[in-house]
Amino acid sequence: NAGVTQTPKFRILKIGQSMTLQCTQDMNHNYMYWYRQDPGMGLKLIYYSVGAGITDKGEVPNGYNVSRSTTEDFPLRLELAAPSQTSVYFCASMDGSNQPQHFGDGTRLSIL
Amino acid sequence: QQQVKQSPQSLIVQKGGISIINCAYENTAFDYFPWYQQFPGKGPALLIAIRPDVSEKKEGRFTISFNKSAKQFSLHIMDSQPGDSATYFCAASIPGSSYKLIFGSGTRLLVRP
């Protein structure tokens, strides 16, 4: 099993550009999450989804959008990149109660 | 009230020593407290977790101690090894919140040979 796969691993964007961070999981998990990780700040929840077609905002959703058209995929979109969005982004999925969240290896994004 | 406060920020331990990382919370509705381990360039991975109906959980060299009245929980790594060098995050979850996790700020552990 591949688990949770994130692409790309690294990306440099210019201010104002847009991009989509891809996340796919092959475990048939209903729950999926997007986090950003800034140095010394832990992980902050951006958006989450409880199933295909259902998404909701997390703690820090401004500047981001998500969609969940299939169980497997949960892309994160940045529309107008800003330097404050420079971070490492992690996608995670889980099956439900008493189960761990499984994380991908992250996308390191720099906005210059 | 949604915060989980983690300390220390960094920790250096000699091989064979005990590593202790502490977390505190305010929201008594939290009912699930996992610890995640993260190596450089990788995503976090679940290490061990506890629910508030028990005061301690042990898995190999890793133990969670939970103090419900003090609203604190801690991770103890016994016989620490250089391979344990990683960043550790505590977290907490509220029932009925779609299993969303509130993470602490992380502790970078270095175990010296």
Which residue in the set B34, B49, B89 is minimally distant from A42, CB to CB? B89
Tell whether B46 lies on the interface with A, counting CB pairs under 8 A. yes
| Angstrom distances, CA of residue A89 to CA of A71, A104, A112 | 20, 9, 17
Q: A53-79 burial, b for 16+ CB within 10 Å, e for fewer?
A: eebeebebbeebebbbeebbebbbebe
Mean local confidence (pLDDT), A70-97 = 94
Question: What pLDDT is recorded for position A39?
Answer: 82
Cβ atoms B44, B37 nearer than 8 A: yes
Extended strands (E) in chain B:
4-7, 10-14, 19-25, 33-38, 45-50, 56-59, 62-67, 72-77, 86-93, 101-103, 107-112
Residue A1's pLDDT band, with cuts at 50, 70 and 90, is: low
pLDDT tens-digit series, residues A41-53 = 889 999 999 999 9
Chain A CB within 8 Å of residue B103 CB: yes
Average pLDDT, chain A: 94
Amino acid at A75: P
Q: Of the candidates A40, A97, A103, which has its C-beta nearest B44's C-beta? A: A103
Burial (CB < 10 A; 0-12, 13-18, 19+), residue B6, is buried
Q: Residue count of chain A, please give it.
A: 112
Closest partner CB to A105 (pick from B41, B98, B99): B41
| Cα of A82 to nearest chain B Cα, Å | 23
pLDDT value, residue B99: 85
**Secondary structure string (H, E, C) spanning B89-109:** EEEEECCCCCCCEEECCCEEE
Residue pointed to by tokens 């040979």: B113
The residue-averaged pLDDT of B51-79 equals 95
Q: Is residue A78 predicted with pLDDT exceeding 80?
A: yes
Mean pLDDT score across all residues of chain B: 94
Per-residue pLDDT at B94 exceeds 70? yes
User: Given this model, what pLDDT does residue B113 score?
Assistant: 94
Best mutation target, B23, B99, B102, B108, to test chain A (most A CBs within 10 A): B99
Query: Contact, A104 vs B43, CB < 8 A?
Result: yes
Phi, psi of A12 (to 5 degrees): -115, 130
Q: What is the DSSP letter of A23?
A: E
- The number of beta carbons lying within 10 Å of the beta carbon of residue A11 is 17
Rounded Cα–Cα distance for residues A19 and A81 (Å):
8
